[in-house]
């Protein structure tokens, strides 16, 4: 099951959270099967397939990378969140640090030097240690457009250069 929490609104920002997990009977639903108001939707595409399962005693989605490729987990942002043609935002990811490697975010932005005229604009990646602990990473995206130019109409994706990448929560916040 994908649980999308409605946006929480305060005077300065809207916070949208997507919690990824399993249903009460441990039967995973199809990725992208629900979308909440002001929420995120997990997008399943060939190079961004995921499987719902328990990892390190937590309900999570585990990336299923193509052979010889990085692991990708794609998300589509609800239109109600997109208030400007260009915005700064923060992506917070709760992930399992299962193996050494690197983790980053590629987003639909305005960096014309990035692949596909900015559709895969990048932030600096963080190093993964592989200590099998759940951790939180915060990525700041600048000049994001979120116009759905990534695979499957996605607005951003997590990029994991590591085997066995699992994520249990993703939060997108406007700055």
Residue keyed to tokens 């596909």:
116
Residue keyed to tokens 């108001």:
37
What are the tokens at 42? 């997990």
pLDDT by residue, tens only, the chain of 175 residues: 334 444 444 433 444 444 443 321 122 233 333 433 347 888 889 999 998 888 888 888 899 999 888 999 999 888 877 777 888 989 989 999 999 999 999 999 877 776 676 788 989 999 999 999 999 999 999 999 999 999 999 999 999 999 989 998 888 888 8
Residues with Cβ within 8 Å of 116's Cβ and at least 6 positions away in sequence, in order, are 149
Question: Domain 2-174 has what CATH class?
Answer: mainly beta
Domains of the chain, residue spans: 2-174
Distance from C-alpha of 158 to C-alpha of 168, rounded to nearest angstrom? 12
Residues with Cβ within 8 Å of 62's Cβ and at least 6 positions away in sequence, in order, are 50, 51, 52, 53, 55, 164, 165, 166
Please give the model's pTM, rounded to 2 decimal places: 0.80
């Amino acid at each position: 099951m994908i649980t999308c929490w409605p946006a929480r609104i305060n005077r300065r920002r809207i916070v949208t959270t997507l919690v990824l997990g399993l249903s009460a009977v441990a039967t995973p639903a199809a990725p992208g099967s629900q979308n909440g108001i002001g929420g995120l939707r997990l997008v399943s595409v060939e190079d961004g397939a995921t499987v719902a399962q328990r990892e390190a005693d937590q309900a999570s989605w585990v990336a299923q990378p193509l052979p010889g490729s990085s692991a990708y987990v794609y998300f589509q942002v609800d239109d109600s969140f997109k208030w400007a043609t260009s915005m700064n935002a923060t992506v917070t990811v709760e992930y399992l640090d299962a193996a050494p490697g690197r983790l980053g975010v590629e987003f639909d932005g305005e960096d014309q030097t990035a692949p596909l005229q900015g559709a895969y604009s990048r932030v600096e990646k963080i190093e993964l240690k592989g200590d099998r602990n759940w951790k939180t990473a915060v990525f700041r995206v600048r000049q994001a457009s979120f116009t759905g130019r990534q695979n499957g109409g996605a607005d951003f994706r997590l990029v994991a250069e590591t085997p066995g990448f699992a994520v249990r929560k993703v939060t997108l916040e406007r700055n």
